[in-house]
Chains A and B, each alone.
Chain A
Amino acid sequence: MSTFAEYAVSALLLVGGAFTLIGAIGLARLPDFYTRLHGPTKATTVGVGAIVVSSVIYFSTLGRGIGIEEVLITAFLFMTAPVSANFLAKAAMHLEVKTTENTRGQTWDQ
Chain B
Amino acid sequence: MLDRLSFPQPWLSLTLFATWQFLSDGISGGSVVLGIVLAWGIPQLTRGFWPDRPAVIRGWRAPAYALRVLWDIIVASVEVAKLILSPRQPRPMFICYPLELDHPLAISILVSTISLTPGTVGADVSDDNKLILIHSLDAEDEQEVIDTIRARYERPLLEMFR
Contact = CB atoms under 8 A, between A and B. Distances in A.
Contact of B92 (A35, A41, A110): A35
Interface bracket on A = 35 or more
Interface string A5-31: 000000000000001001101100111
Nearest to A42: B118
A99 B123 CA distance: 14
Interface bracket on B = 35 or more
Contacts of A23: 84
Contacts of A43: 77, 80-81, 84, 118
Interface in A64-110: 68-69, 72, 78-79, 81-83, 85-86, 89-90, 93, 99-100, 102-108, 110
A108 B127 CA distance: 11
Contacts, number: 117
Most A Cβ at <10 Å: residue of B89, B115, B119? B115
A41 B121 contact: yes
Given A37-B121, A102-B92, A69 B22 contact: yes
A102 B92 CA distance: 7
A69 to B, nearest CB: 6
Given A34-B92, A102-B91, A25 B118 contact: no
Interface of B: 19, 22-23, 73-74, 76-77, 80-81, 84-85, 89-96, 111-116, 118-119, 121-124, 126-127, 133, 135, 137, 142
9 contacts: A22-B84, A39-B84, A41-B115, A41-B116, A41-B118, A49-B73, A83-B112, A85-B115, A105-B94
CB-CB nearest 4 A-B residue pairs: A105-B94, A82-B115, A89-B123, A42-B118
Interface of A: 19, 22-23, 25-26, 29-32, 34-35, 37-39, 41-43, 45-46, 49, 68-69, 72, 78-79, 81-83, 85-86, 89-90, 93, 99-100, 102-108, 110
